[in-house]
Structure 1
Amino acid sequence: MFATPPPGTASPPSRRRRRGRSHRTVRAAAVAALLLASTAVPATASQGSGGGHCARITALRMPGAGHQEVSCLAELTTAGTIASGHTDQADWAGLTPSGLATPSGVPGIQIDGWFPDDSAGNTNHGWAHDSQFVVRLPDRWNGGLVVAGSPGVREQYANDRAISDWVLARGYAFAATDKGNAGAAFHRDGERPGDAIAEWNERVTQLTRAARAVVAQRYHRPPSRTLATGMSNGGYLVRWQLENHPELYDGGVDWEGNLWRAQGPNLLTFLPPALRGYPVYAAGGAGAEEAHRRMLAAGYPAGSEFLWPFHHRYYWDLTQRIYREEFDPHFDGATEAGTPFCAPGTPACDADYVYGERPREVTDAVERIALTGRIGKPLITLHGTLDVLLPIGQDSDVYARMVREEGRGKLMRYYRVEGGTHVDSLYDAFPDRLRPLTPCHRSAFTALEDWIGEGRAPAPSRTVPLPRAGEGDGRDLLHRCSLGG
């Protein structure tokens, strides 16, 4: 989830570290007036004029955009955008269960484009330009706007199946961003350690302001509510926005957000023990029991062992190396993003990485993008108890405690979802052991709507049990998830 879909993913080649100047262009774009962007409509779309479908399409301008393409579409959900070329299936591959229904019947306007930036990792549309965004404006609008940052290091369409389809069908406008850099070499962006992730936060803020403006252009009034949501890194972005820019949002839903704390825990504290311990555990023999004990001590929950082989093969190693490179590029000298699957004892091996023993500048870099728990608007967090990429005890359990310690507990509801894991596609492989989190996210979203719109507080924070076969929504885990008591 942290990287693009794992099969076939290769580590970036070793080369001299390069950092760009993306932050200067973010700030320049933020103070720019309205850049007159080109408005190109694909051959599959038609421009609207006057009233009705796609009215005033030619007048729409995303503030600060360096380029935009505006399309009038008969279908804004993936039921139509796959065929029309207005999504990229590779962006969202592996994030949702295969049986997830796709809504349809949502005509409207889509705006694709980019904000000025000097990095070029995102090649969608052949632009080779980062800071790409997508905004969707349904004809039948409910007055709201949903903003999302991409999970992992994916691009702007990564939320299309999990989030965009569903909120569009409910009448929301939707906006998403690639966060300003993407791919396994995202750490090359910026001038100093931590810059690439700092840009993620700036780009979501930038998108939110611009999307609110274009919504007002389209519907002749600003959104009545603006909601932030996202999974994993997207969930981290929700937390950060509600801590740092609560004035832009009415609330948010955090789906297993990544926790960054300078003092830990963070993924640089719990991934190296997995890289050291899992191979010993998997090999069996005299050291297996002790290796298993160390894995549990690092936060990987008992009962999640069946998920460890997949995560060792695809996620733990790559995630550790590319995020460690972002914050601590000097650990491996001139090598970029370490040595894949190196054995402990190999020089500069990430399996031997000990975050607490690294120089002060490493924790200073993390501190720049760290979370505090000081949220300023209602937040609902959900996290699966069998998450073995961001173990719940090292992540959302800690963040919920941070929020309470900051005196903001009344603004938060936290649901620990029994049987949930980090990516819902694994439900297809283990339907008897897991539950998909997508329906739980939708339940959390509707609970947030009631909370901020009707004043009905959600159910108290709790662990949501996994129904037994034939019991309640256990018969239909793909469509229902009750968060209530």
Structure 2
Amino acid sequence: MPSPRTAVAPPRGRRPRWRVTLGALSLAAACATVPAPATAAPAVTGDWTMGGHCAARDPLPRVPGAAFQRADCLDELTTAGTVASGHTDPADYAGLTPKDLPTPGGVPGIQIDGYFPDTSTTDTNHGWNHDSQFVVRLPDRWNGGLVVAGTPGNREQYANDRAISDWVLSRGYAYAATDKGNTGLAFYRDGRRPGDAIAEWNTRVTQLARAARSFVGQRYHRPPARTIATGLSNGGYLVRWQLENHPELFDGGVDWEGTLWRSDGPGLLTFLPPALRDYPVYEAGGAGAEQAQEAMHAAGYPAGSEFLWPYHHKVYWDLTQRIYREELDPDYDGATEAGTPYCASGTPGCDADYDYATRPDAVHRAVDRIALTGRIGKPLITIQGTLDVLLPISQDSDVYARMVRAAGRGGLLRYYRIEDGTHTDSLVDAFPDKLRPMVPCHHSAFMALERWLAGEGRPPADRTVPRPADADQATLLTSCPLEQSVSLP
């Protein structure tokens, strides 16, 4: 992760400039298709033609627009083989899935690693120190489909390997993922204006989808029969945005607890500050604790989720508020970079006292640049856990489902609230009697989308999927039938 840097106090209204020289991507570049460099075409390096199942194949095409790519012929494209072969990075996906999640195998094929032109350098994978890195995996036994994903959080391109890539590869899909163009806790340093770094995420997924569709078509000598966008958390936001803004590139998408951005809220910057103010009072007990608990519930953190609050206060809430507020409203705390960790309410510039509604119009315009509208153009299935306390469901997917319906696109959406699911599946290991994993629910949603796109029947109506009272952990880790449900009003 990038280490903090000392900021130079900027003129009011301008983004801080850092003493350390850091790459930036202009707004113009972030909002347009990034062209290939004017220099010679990128080299295709690696050992993809070295014997076995990759021998005597046609020359491997270049990924359109890539500045560099490396191709390798692998006996195993899933993490059953890529961990040992060095074609993934377990640190990228650490903490996202349950420890006992089965790992599929038996998927030989070709992996292409590379990067598109970019000027920022936060992604250190392969020692490249170059952002806009991507990975494309081409199974020998292809089912005709392509899955495109952006990463959750501020992680790098292998972050979905356990949660998504392994499973879709085992089903025969080609798979492509991007690091979104900037990574790490100081991702907000990329770009010239507030919102540039997040805006680049959307551009990079669009760029990869176009390139991967072309590349896969060249490799298999026919275009993908279907292209599906999927992702979790920030990756789910990217699915929503792509289906709203570039539905021509996709046949549909599965949004796994996507982040909601709206210029008038709700969003991270509206429900995280109350948690930073009220949780310490609740945790301390005594006078005011009950009132603080009620305030937490009012902010969207559901009753019954209290057992998750200590972990999220320690790991997520404070850090998430500060770095995303810095990206969209850097002037709030003056020259300080990303606020003061765990500051007490009443401290000048403290994020616990942040009030998005009263911030200047420029802040709301920055959020509007990355905002969602609900105007999806292709089928979308959204899933979110009812015990998500990083993105409370009442402030996120409940709202987005209403937005889609209000936009007149309700016929393109199915929305499933997963009872006792939370934001990070690794927490199921810590609370097996209180939580259920979301991974199998993503599988069920994905297969429901497959049937929908194939004309084999529409998925069940929007509903809450209950946690079976008598199901053991092994069953919950492999099963999540969407039909067993309570319909939503």
Q: TM-score, normalised by structure 1?
A: 0.94
Maintained 8 Å contact 1:54/1:139:
no
Alignment correspondent of 1:6: none
Alignment correspondent of 2:96: 95
Decide which of 21, 25, 36 is 1:21's aligned counterpart: 25
User: 2:44 matched to 1:39?
Assistant: yes
Alpha-carbon separation, structure 1, partners of 2:355 and 2:460: 40
Alpha-carbon separation, structure 2, partners of 1:54 and 1:428: 43
User: 2:157 matched to 1:153?
Assistant: no
Partner letter of residue 477 of structure 2? L
Alignment correspondent of 1:4: none
Alignment correspondent of 1:481: 480
Alignment correspondent of 2:413: 412
User: Offset at 1:95?
Assistant: 0.3
CA RMSD of aligned residues (A): 1.8
Bigger CA drift: 58-67 or 100-109?
A: 58-67
Maintained 8 Å contact 2:69/2:113:
yes
SS in 1 for 2:216: helix
Within a 5 Å distance, the mapping from 1:313-328 to structure 2 comes to 313-328=314-329
Alignment correspondent of 1:231: 232
C-alpha deviations, 1:80-115, integer Å up to 9, x for none?
A: 000111101010000000010000010000000000
Percent of pairs with identical residues: 70
User: 2:77 matched to 1:76?
Assistant: yes
Alignment correspondent of 1:130: 131
Q: TM-score, normalised by structure 2?
A: 0.93
State the number of aligned residues.
Answer: 471
User: 2:447 matched to 1:442?
Assistant: no
User: Offset at 1:54?
Assistant: 5.8
Alpha-carbon separation, structure 2, partners of 1:11 and 1:126: 18
Maintained 8 Å contact 1:68/1:112:
yes
C-alpha deviations, 1:119-148, integer Å up to 9, x for none?
A: 000000000100000000000000000000
Maintained 8 Å contact 2:2/2:186:
no
C-alpha deviations, 1:234-283, integer Å up to 9, x for none?
A: 00000000000000000000000000000000000000000000000000
Within a 5 Å distance, the mapping from 1:35-434 to structure 2 comes to 36-41=41-46, 45-48=47-50, 52-53=53-54, 56=57, 58-434=59-435
User: Offset at 1:55?
Assistant: 5.4
SS in 2 for 1:336: coil
- Structure 2 CA distance for partners of 1:251 and 1:474, relative to 1, 3 Å: same
SS in 2 for 1:29: coil
Alpha-carbon separation, structure 2, partners of 1:409 and 1:25: 33
Unaligned stretches of 5+ residues in structure 1? 1-8
Bigger CA drift: 293-302 or 25-34?
A: 25-34
- Structure 2 CA distance for partners of 1:39 and 1:475, relative to 1, 3 Å: closer
Alpha-carbon separation, structure 1, partners of 2:264 and 2:270: 10
SS in 2 for 1:481: coil
User: Offset at 1:209?
Assistant: 0.4
Alpha-carbon separation, structure 1, partners of 2:482 and 2:33: 43
User: Offset at 1:23?
Assistant: 4.5
Unaligned stretches of 5+ residues in structure 2? 9-15, 18-22, 485-489
Maintained 8 Å contact 1:466/1:474:
no
- Structure 2 CA distance for partners of 1:293 and 1:254, relative to 1, 3 Å: same
Alignment correspondent of 1:12: 4
User: Offset at 1:37?
Assistant: 1.0
C-alpha deviations, 1:155-177, integer Å up to 9, x for none?
A: 10000000000000000000000
C-alpha deviations, 1:24-76, integer Å up to 9, x for none?
A: 555473476996212221xxx55258x95365464320000011111111110
Alpha-carbon separation, structure 1, partners of 2:216 and 2:66: 15
Maintained 8 Å contact 1:151/1:230:
yes
